[in-house]
Structure 1
Amino acid sequence: MKTWTNKDAGKETCPKCNSVYEVKITRFPLRDKDSFNCQVCGYEIESWNDTEVPSFTLVKRVEPIE
């Protein structure tokens, strides 16, 4: 699928385990409905139903406290 634009959206920190992600936003011509869960603890960080879709890259892993 062709994308229209990409932009950096800064960093996002998981509110449960404090792992940090870099976020980029890609704009698509069609709406996407999905969500992203933290790769470390599984907490749902963001959900969307939009043409602007975030992608997350883990940059700082913090192990959750049991």
Structure 2
Amino acid sequence: MPTYHYRCKNCGYDFTEEQSFDDDPITICPKCNEEQVRKVFSAVPIEFKGHGFYRTDGASGSSDSGK
């Protein structure tokens, strides 16, 4: 199950919660009980592995030397 990061705009409480894709987002803060909770989105790291991601990994048999 995915883990989501939430933050309350009222009291600043940060928390994470495992939820199914079918679950509704959390809107009420478990600390102050206000309806001020929002999901926190962050950049997802991407890691390229294998061949084909660099200029030097071009098609095999190519003798292009940067022309």
Tell me if both proteins adopt one fold, taking TM over 0.5 as the criterion. Answer: no
Instruction: Report which of the two structures shows the higher radius of gyration computed on alpha carbons.
Output: 2
- Give the TM-score of the pair, scaled to structure 1: 0.39
Q: Could you say which structure has the greater relative contact order, defined with CA pairs below 8 angstroms and 6 or more residues apart?
A: 1
More helix by share: 2
